[in-house]
Amino acid sequence: MTELMHRDDQGAKLGMWLFLVTEMVLFGGLFVAYSYMRYRYPAEFHHGGQELNVTLGVVNTVVLLTSSLTVVLSIVAIQRADRRTTMALLYATVGLGLTFLVIKGFEWAAKFQHGLYPSSAHLATLPAGEQVFFGLYFTMTGLHGLHVLVGICVLSALARMVARGSIRQDHYVHLENGGLYWHLVDVIWIFLLPLFYLAA
What is the rounded distance in angstroms from the CA atom of residue 41 to the CA atom of residue 47? 10
| Residues 161 and 153 sit within 8 Å (Cβ to Cβ) | no
Determine contact, residues 155/71, Cβ cutoff 8 Å: yes
Q: Which parts of 17-46 interact with another protein (CB under 8 A)?
A: 18-19, 21-23, 25-30, 32-33, 36-37, 40-41, 44
Any contact of residue 139 with another protein (CB under 8 A)? yes
Looking at beta carbons only, is 13 or 83 nearer to another protein?
Answer: 13
Assess 82 for contact with another protein (CB under 8 A): no
Instruction: Point out which span in 53-61, 74-82, 86-94, 123-131 binds another protein (CB under 8 A).
Output: 123-131
Cα separation, 127 vs 165, in Å, equals 57
Chain centre to alpha carbon of residue 94: 12
Q: How far is the CB of 111 from another protein (least distance, A)?
A: 13
The Cα–Cα gap between 71 and 48 comes to 34
- The verdict on 196 binding another protein (CB under 8 A) reads no
Angle at CA 46, nearest 5°, toward 132 and 188? 70
Rounded Cα gap, residues 26 and 90, in angstroms: 27
Is 178 a binder of another protein (CB under 8 A)? no
* Interface pick for another protein out of 77, 90, 94, 136 (rule CB under 8 A): 136
Question: For another protein, which is the closer residue by CB, 5 or 113?
Answer: 5
Among 43, 128, 190, 198, interactor with another protein by CB under 8 A: 128
User: Is residue 1 near another protein by the rule CB under 8 A?
Assistant: yes
Decide: is 150 part of the binding site for another protein (CB under 8 A).
no
Considering only residues 78, 132, 192, 199, which one is a binding residue for another protein as defined by CB under 8 A? 132
* Binding-site ranges for another protein (CB under 8 A): 1-2, 4-5, 8, 10-12, 14-15, 18-19, 21-23, 25-30, 32-33, 36-37, 40-41, 44, 117-119, 127-129, 131-132, 135-136, 138-139, 143
